Amino acid sequence: MSQITEQMHTSDIGDILEKSISGTRPSGNDILRLLKSDDVHLMGLVAGHITRKRFGKKASFVNNIILNYTNVCVTDCKFCAFYRPPGHNDAYTLSLEQIEARVRTAWEMFQIRQVLIQGGHNPNLGIEYYEDAFSMIRKKYPHIGVHGLSPSEIDMISRIEKTSTKEVLSRLKSAGLQSIPGAGAEILVDTVKDIISPKKISSDDWLRIMEEAHTMGLPASATMMYGHVETASDISSHFEKIAKLQEKTGGFMAFIPWSFEPNNTLMQKENLVMYGVGGMQLLKMIAISRLVFDGMINHIQSSWLTNGVGMAQVALQYGADDFGGTLIGEEVVSCTGARSTELTGKKIIDAIHQIGYSVEERDNFYNTVRMH
């Protein structure tokens, strides 16, 4: 701690970090200064100190699968290499039997505790498709949490069914939906969304649907996709909007900053973004996330999927406390050719042990399943 104190006296962000250590979260202007500072190591030292004070030298993970139920999508996001338009040769939608087969195999082989259900915005799928899938999983595999459908997917279902998003959420919850992933947020600034995902829901709609979910007892994770066309001011605004909603509802369980991977995307083809922003930016975003949300959103995920296991190990020392999930059968990031996207529980456990941390396997709601 004395080492940190000495460094803070000479740092351009020392005053912000001193306030963080004493429990005062950064203001909007402070967040901007953190984003513009190059003192990433010191941010990480302070964020890591705060995290260890809260959790000890322990990191959690969830044994899960990502179930990409369809790649049919009509929103044409420029950052996505996964989607296919309706009628395309590579388009697919999983049947209920295929969903059950995947979940059964994952339960039998890995004892998964969560299925993360995400797909494209498929105009041919009514709400019964999701209700049938969720109720089947909950009935047959009661230990597996159903973490599914981003706010933009909820919005799509409401438009297909010509009903409110609140009604859709209510029906899906009754069918077995337990929590909502934070996808579709990207950056919660519409001037950014107009460039990268003009057909997706607005920032206000994303926040409204999340508030509806929280209010009816569906907790969620919040995400941020950085490293494309956004500015530091846009990122700061995103942090502040998530914090404001969390102050109101307390419904976010975790925050996940992840870096945009441009390979095979329209944004790369149009020369908007040629390369990912790399590891230092990840560590900065992890550290700032902990400083911004300390005492407000408990869990910060290490975002290994787009940055790899080695970076995730460092992220656990820069403010993250959760490794995220295992990965068997993920199809979205793997379409960018970013890296091998298979990761078993054993590999995660080994990676966490390598940095001298104990390992907590958790469920969908961050409750302990077992210690490793």
Phi first, then psi: give them for residue 84, nearest 5 degrees: -135, 140
Mean pLDDT (whole number) for 347-368: 97
pLDDT tens-digit series, residues 205-216: 999 999 999 999
- Does the pLDDT of residue 249 top 90, yes or no? yes
Q: How far apart are CA 24 and CA 60, in angstroms?
A: 26
pLDDT tens-digit series, residues 335-344: 444 445 578 8
Q: Parallel, antiparallel, or unpaired: how do β-strands 358-362 and 58-62 relate?
A: parallel
The whole-number pLDDT of residue 269 equals 77
Is 73 annotated in a binding site? The answer is yes
Phi first, then psi: give them for residue 161, nearest 5 degrees: -85, -5
The whole-number pLDDT of residue 86 equals 77
- Does the pLDDT of residue 285 top 90, yes or no? yes
**Is residue 290 within 8 Å of residue 51, measured between CB atoms?**
yes
Is 323 annotated in a binding site? The answer is no
Is 77 annotated in a binding site? The answer is yes
Mean pLDDT (whole number) for 240-261: 96
Query: Going from the N-terminus, what domains does the chain have, and what CATH number goes with each?
Result: 2-371 (3.20.20.70)
pLDDT tens-digit series, residues 133-192: 999 999 999 999 999 999 999 999 999 999 999 999 999 999 999 999 999 899 999 999
pLDDT tens-digit series, residues 90-135: 889 999 999 999 999 999 988 999 999 998 888 899 999 999 999 9
| Closest listed residue to residue 316, CA positions, set 339, 293, 299 | 299
Is 186 annotated in a binding site? The answer is yes
Residue 242 Cα distances to 108, 172, 220, 249, angstroms: 37, 24, 12, 11
Taking residue 216's Cβ as centre, other Cβ atoms within 10 Å add up to 12
